[in-house]
Amino acid sequence: MYADITKPPAPLPSPALQKLAHGIALLPPLSRRGTGPGLILLTTPEATDEAITITDKSPSPLVKWAEEGYAVVQIPSSVLDSVSAEDALKEAIEGLSACAKCEPKGKIGLVAYSARLWKSVSGILDPFASIVANVVYVDEADVQDLTASPNPTLRHIAGPIAPPAPKSATLVEYRYPSVQSFNFVSPDHAHFHYNTDSVAHTRTLQFLKPRMDGPYFDLETIWDEHCYYEFADRSVEHTMSTMVQEPYVNHVPTLTGGIGRAKLTDFYRHNFIFNNSADTDLELTSRTVGIDRVIDEFIFKFTHDRELDWLLPGVPATNIKVQVPFTAVVNIRGDRLYHEHISWDQGTVLRQLGLMPEYLPFPYKVDGKEGDWEYKVPVGGVEVAEKMRDRNSVQSNDMFGFKIRGRRAD
């Protein structure tokens, strides 16, 4: 089912930016599939990418959407200063029609990265029947002046929370109170806000895909393939081949992983893939699949027969079997992984290894009284995994009986 690890994996696609006319450019899909529907971006100077230099920072909108599997045309705002919006859109659509990697054709999305850019095209979209859905990033102050469109439109509004317009077949709005301006989506702008950009991007995918017939990918298979190369075949090169050009992984309790291909490859080679115990097993207990991510709950089982520095940095082997509930939030961009956020309860790991005492000193007053106090540590052992596996295996709320006590002499 998966690739033969005795042979090198297929290389990542090299971005091949195709110049159209008047400064308009087309980037074919950067997915493994290699084909996808067309998407037109109207970009501010900060959102425009002319060099296609992919680094370990957040990619430009042009690269990000190509990694999602779209054939992307970028129309910079400077183009619309010298060319009519009608001519620019016509050039973009003709470029997508002629692009062999743009499949299926006939349903194109449009993303405007400012209110001004949206206003430049909103009144002329009717003749362009192939444009079937619009997305616009705006400030709250500009919302009232936006021209409506007969096509379904998604608005990302930078501004305070307000009663949203009722969702309809033609209009969806989201507000983002924590950002400074609509430029929160532009990596090269001072107002860029990584997490909010990520939330807005997922919402945009949710909005566009059903209206453009995709592109859709089998996210479960992509994630399972990645795990197979990590834990079964144990191939660094094939593991990395399942990821975008500049991915990242973070193991939340220990802050281990890596940002960018070079650092993450080094982590996988020296700290993860060949460091895991031979009996490592992932017991899946639940899975949620979204438009661009897989969220797994699973029990990570292993014998602590070596130093697992990504999980227990600095802790020598104890040769004890451990079962730990894990949660993995896996963001998939197109048909390759972009990031993994992996979390677990480090307390139960230490408890199962006999490295977490039952009581610890409590260095504060109790009911206003000084004292030599200690508290019972509210951390479970293997029963934490047993409860995840079988809800009836362990009584709920037993820790409610834990009490503070006077510290006892050793």
Please give the Cα distance from 156 to 183 (Å, whole number).
11
Res. 227 pLDDT band, cuts 50 70 90:
very high
CATH architecture of residue range(s) 18-212? 3-Layer(aba) Sandwich (3.40)
Average pLDDT of span 93-100: 98
Q: What is the pLDDT of residue 7?
A: 87
Q: What is the pLDDT of residue 408?
A: 75
Q: What pLDDT score was predicted for residue 3?
A: 82
Average pLDDT over every residue of 188-193: 93
pLDDT of residue 410: 62
Q: What ranges do the domains of the chain cover? A: 18-212, 219-352
Judge whether residue 409 has pLDDT over 80.
no
Look at 10-14, 130-134, 155-159, 195-199 and tell me which has the smallest mean pLDDT: 10-14
pLDDT score for 169: 79
pLDDT at 61 over 70: yes
- Residue 286's beta-bridge partner residues? 297
The mean pLDDT value of the chain amounts to 95
CA dihedral 381, 386, 391, 394 (to 10 degrees): -50
* pLDDT of 102 higher than 80: yes
pLDDT in tens, 21-55: 989 999 999 999 999 999 999 999 988 887 677 66
The model's pLDDT over 262-278, given as tens digits with 9 standing for 90+, comes to: 999 999 999 999 999 99
Q: What is residue 46's predicted lDDT score, i.e. its pLDDT? A: 87
pTM across the whole model? 0.94
CA 334 to chain centre: 11
Structure confidence at residue 5 as a pLDDT band (50, 70, 90): confident
Q: Residues 230, 83: contact at Cβ < 8 Å?
A: no
Q: Which helix (H) or strand (E) holds 286?
A: strand 281-289
Nearest to 326 by CA among 287, 366, 361: 287
Say which CATH class 219-352 falls into: alpha beta
Residue 333, beta-bridge partner list:
336
Residue 56, pLDDT score: 60
- pLDDT recorded at residue 1: 67
Q: Mean per-residue pLDDT for 334-349? A: 98
Asked whether residue 285 carries a pLDDT value surpassing 90, the answer given is yes
